[in-house]
Amino acid sequence: MKLIKFSYLLLSVFSINFSLAQNCDLPPNYTGNTGSNMSIFLAATFISSLNATDENAYLVALTSSGLVVGSTSIYGLSQSSIALWSDDSQTPEIDGALANEVISFQLVNGTDLYDVFMPNPVVYEVNDLIFLINPAVTTLVECNASVYGCTDASAFNYNSSANTDDNFCIEVIEGCTDSLAFNYDSLANTDDNSCIEVIEGCTDANACNYNAAATDSDDDICCILTVAIDTSSLTSVLTAIVSPADSVVAYSWLFNGAEVGIESTYTALENGFY
């Protein structure tokens, strides 16, 4: 079940934004659709804190590289939402947000540009839904202003364009990031090439189709063999019972090392090991 996240007021505001206006260019509205996104609900308290005065004012979302991944108009609205679009894995170029990437926001209010500092950092996660309830802090961007971002080159979200640290560097956590792999690590944000392919098979050593190389087992595929003996007559009817009943198996009865039958039952006429 997807958890719905709320943005609550903290004692200090995270500075996770960065200025893109060194050349005084305003970030454009987002136009596109990469097939999957993350949704953010903008409550009235949050929108009113932006103090948008231009009827064409809009909020934009940007990745650490400055790529616009979402936008929405906010003038005159009491509440709204913004979709943050993810990178399309079907194309070689990066055209959207990456998993666990910190998203920054800016307000375009006419010809003015503002950095929007969120109460809590927004980290991208596909199909996630968060609510921004508390006020944001806006700062007017001037040409050649500070570029906020993580300036630690060893961090996961290092921003080579930043000249002012935002105090929100994310530690690199290496592991398998392939959700289909046997050793998938949901906490990892950097793949270490350690992913192990899932091998389906029976891991029950007592089963007749035991697979020592299997990493993913389903009890329904394990073939368990038992033998029932009918001692109601002078001879003994040996019956092989396989579970599940529809298992595809071959039968071979051995007596003193020699094969004496290939059906599911065998009538033993002599004492010995079968």
**For residue 169, how many other CB atoms are within 10 A of its CB?**
19
9 vs 185: which has the higher pLDDT: 185
How is 169-180 classified by DSSP, letter by letter?
-----EEB--TT
Is the bond into 27 cis (omega within 30 degrees of 0)? no
User: Is 6 a residue whose pLDDT tops 50?
Assistant: no
> pLDDT per residue over 11-43, tens digit each?
333 333 334 444 467 999 999 999 999 999 999
**144: exposed, middle or buried (C-beta count within 10 Å: 0-12, 13-18, 19+)?**
exposed
Per DSSP bridges, beta strands 5-7 and 37-42 are: unpaired
> pLDDT per residue over 238-249, tens digit each?
888 877 777 778
Highest mean pLDDT among 22-26, 110-114, 265-269: 110-114
How is 50-88 classified by DSSP, letter by letter?
T---STT-EEEEE-TT--EEEEEE-TT-S-EEEEEEBP-
Q: What is the pTM of this model?
A: 0.50
- Classify 227 as helix, strand or coil: strand
Least confident of 40-44, 49-53, 211-215: 211-215
Q: Where are the domains of the chain?
A: 5-167, 222-268
